[in-house]
């Protein structure tokens, strides 16, 4: 199949690539060469595919999300986070033996160099945990300097195991620093998710019993966040990695990209917004009006999505899970009622309906994190922990396919050539 572009009296035949879900894309990679300079422009990449990928399928119109062909609903209901990590990275669900070996390898690497503690010490207690996690992930490079030979599966595997093992430690340390707790390595006898909880919450003078309700809720949240094809942070990971910067540097860049309130930082922003509405007396209509007012910068956080123009399937699962988790833990959170009220109003309001703005993954996740005892400014760190396997899988795919360095073009709209003026004559 071909597409034809006609410009300035000339026609250019361009190949059309069709994906396994019958999505078509015009391959414009040769257009500039063929036409002597014609390029396409698409700020924010709203209509541009950056790669072919076998990892995650997403249909925003129909609200479908699948990892390696498996629906998010089935995975969230049945799988463990580590199983999903294996699936995303290596392409198939692991056998019990493969999963056990994978986890054993992770446990072997679940320590970080003691000198990393000095770096953590340098941060003020008030530092945002996302900044701390991004910096510490980058600092890991100094302690693991050998570069990955991507032609060696063994080298690749070792790097992947190291980051899967050490990243949760860094996330937990960022919290412990913030809460003034001594640093902890958790317990290798526990499951991956259970150990994350212990590393975060164990008090120095008290045993920590993992609550199965809490562990199961966190397991589900991590799975729901594990990949989402070419979003802002994943594209960042791929593009940084495309310069052959290492895996840890690429992941650190991904953490920074995720931090922004238009991306992963929205989960923190949602709770802050719901709290502000509560403090203000709970008048959701007032905030709905602000969100619709073009002269007001306020947006309804947790609403809208670049790709989903229908319900975000993750938000559906999380909303149900929020009710279950709060019920099981016996928690009543007034912001859950405010969230449900806002959602109901938005879904009936023509502004949101016309623009196809639905709740996204971040709308209810913060309410669960809060019920699990996770402080608000750690919410985006939890998102990063969940997204880690997706970032790794996308980085690995990009490196194995030997993709070229990511380097977009531009349309220059600045000054034409002009002569330099001496400073005394300006």
Q: Which stretch binds ligand ACO (CB under 6 A): 23-31, 79-87, 190-198, 354-362?
A: 354-362
What is the spatial distance between Cα 183 and Cα 199, in angstroms, rounded to a whole number?
Answer: 8
Residue number, 169 or 271, with CB nearest to ligand ACO:
271
367 binds ligand ACO (CB under 6 A): no
Which residue in the list 128, 225, 228, 305 is annotated as catalytic? 305
Residue number, 41 or 423, with CB nearest to ligand ACO:
41
186 binds ligand ACO (CB under 6 A): no
Q: Using the 8-state DSSP alphabet, how is residue 95 labeled?
A: P
Chosen residue from 241, 302, 313, 389 binding ligand ACO by CB under 6 A: 302
3-state helix, strand, coil in the chain (%, to 5): 55, 5, 40
Q: Report the alpha-carbon angle 14-19-21, nearest 5.
A: 140
What is the spatial distance between Cα 116 and Cα 273, in angstroms, rounded to a whole number?
Answer: 35
Q: How far is the CB of 129 from ligand ACO (least distance, A)?
A: 17
Return the number of other C-beta atoms located less than 10 Å from residue 129's C-beta. 24
Tell which residue, 38, 345, 75, 91, has the closest CA to residue 220.
75
256 binds ligand ACO (CB under 6 A): no
Q: Are 240 and 218 in contact (CB under 8 A)?
A: no
Tell which residue, 154, 109, 151, 133, has the closest CA to residue 248.
133
What is the spatial distance between Cα 257 and Cα 130, in angstroms, rounded to a whole number?
Answer: 10
Q: How far is the CB of 113 from ligand ACO (least distance, A)?
A: 32
362 binds ligand ACO (CB under 6 A): yes
Return the number of other C-beta atoms located less than 10 Å from residue 368's C-beta. 28
What is the spatial distance between Cα 327 and Cα 269, in angstroms, rounded to a whole number?
Answer: 24
300 binds ligand ACO (CB under 6 A): yes
Active site residue 305: yes
Q: Binding string, 258-297, against ligand ACO, x = CB under 6 A?
A: ----xxx-x------------------------x------
What is the spatial distance between Cα 324 and Cα 141, in angstroms, rounded to a whole number?
Answer: 41
Q: How far is the CB of 225 from ligand ACO (least distance, A)?
A: 8
| Nearest residue to ligand ACO, scored by beta-carbon proximity | 304
Tell which residue, 304, 272, 278, 277, has the closest CA to residue 288.
277
Active site residue 244: no
Q: How far is the CB of 318 from ligand ACO (least distance, A)?
A: 12
Chosen residue from 103, 192, 303, 369 binding ligand ACO by CB under 6 A: 303
Residue number, 186 or 359, with CB nearest to ligand ACO:
359
Residue number, 140 or 357, with CB nearest to ligand ACO:
357
Which residue in the list 227, 312, 362, 377 is annotated as catalytic? 362
Retrieve residue 107's tokens: 């446990």
The residues pairing with 16 across neighbouring beta strands, listed in sequence order, are 26
210 binds ligand ACO (CB under 6 A): no
305 binds ligand ACO (CB under 6 A): yes
Element (H, E) at 78: helix 72-78
**125-184: contacts with ligand ACO (CB under 6 A):** none
What is the spatial distance between Cα 210 and Cα 402, in angstroms, rounded to a whole number?
Answer: 43
390 binds ligand ACO (CB under 6 A): no
Say how many residues touch ligand ACO, by CB under 6 A.
Answer: 18
Element (H, E) at 3: strand 2-7
360 binds ligand ACO (CB under 6 A): yes
Q: Which stretch binds ligand ACO (CB under 6 A): 82-90, 244-252, 256-264, 327-335?
A: 256-264
Chosen residue from 285, 320, 355, 401 binding ligand ACO by CB under 6 A: 355
Chosen residue from 107, 278, 290, 306 binding ligand ACO by CB under 6 A: 306
Element (H, E) at 59: strand 56-59
Retrieve residue 399's tokens: 């490196």
Residues taking part in catalysis: 305, 362
Residues that bind ligand ACO (CB under 6 A): 262-264, 266, 291, 299-306, 355, 357, 360-362
């Amino acid at each position: 199949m071909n597409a034809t572009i006609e410009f300035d009296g000339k026609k250019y035949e361009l190949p059309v690539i069709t994906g396994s879900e019958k999505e078509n894309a015009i391959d414009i990679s040769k257009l500039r060469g063929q036409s002597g300079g014609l390029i396409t422009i698409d700020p924010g990449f709203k209509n541009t595919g950056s790669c072919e990928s076998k990892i995650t399928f997403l249909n925003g119109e129909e609200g479908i999300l699948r990892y390696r062909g498996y629906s998010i609903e089935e995975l969230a209901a049945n799988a463990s986070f580590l199983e999903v990590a294996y699936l995303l990275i290596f392409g198939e669900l692991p056998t019990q033996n493969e999963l056990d070996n994978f986890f054993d390898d992770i446990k072997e690497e679940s320590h970080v160099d003691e000198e990393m503690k000095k770096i953590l010490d340098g941060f003020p207690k008030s530092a945002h945990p996302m900044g701390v996690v991004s910096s510490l992930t980058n600092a890991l490079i100094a302690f693991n300097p050998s570069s990955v030979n991507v032609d060696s599966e063994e080298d690749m595997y070792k790097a992947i195991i190291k980051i899967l093992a050490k990243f949760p430690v860094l996330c937990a340390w960022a919290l412990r620093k913030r809460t003034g707790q001594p640093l902890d390595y958790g317990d290798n006898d526990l499951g991956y998710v259970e150990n994350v909880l212990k590393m975060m919450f164990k008090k120095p003078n008290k045993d920590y019993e993992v609550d199965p309700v809490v562990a199961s809720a966190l397991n589900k949240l991590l799975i729901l966040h594990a990949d989402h094809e070419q979003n802002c942070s994943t594209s960042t990971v791929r593009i940084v990695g495309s310069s052959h910067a290492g895996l840890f540097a690429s992941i650190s860049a991904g953490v920074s990209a995720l931090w922004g309130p238009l991306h992963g930082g929205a989960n923190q922003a949602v709770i802050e917004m719901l709290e502000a509405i509560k403090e203000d007396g709970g008048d959701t209509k007032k905030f709905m009006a602000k969100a619709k007012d073009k002269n007001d910068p306020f947006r309804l956080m947790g609403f809208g999505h670049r790709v989903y123009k229908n319900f975000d399937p993750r938000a559906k699962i999380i909303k149900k899970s929020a009710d279950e988790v709060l019920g099981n833990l016996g928690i009543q959170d007034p912001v859950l009622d405010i969230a449900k009220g806002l959602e109901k109003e938005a879904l009936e309001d023509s502004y949101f309906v016309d623009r196809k703005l639905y709740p996204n993954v971040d709308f209810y996740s913060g309410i669960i994190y809060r019920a699990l005892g996770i402080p608000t400014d750690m919410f985006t760190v939890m998102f990063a922990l969940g997204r880690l396997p997706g970032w790794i899988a996308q980085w690995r795919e990009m490196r194995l396919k030997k993709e070229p360095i990511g380097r977009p073009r531009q349309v220059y709209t600045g000054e034409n050539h002009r002569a330099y003026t001496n400073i005394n004559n300006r």
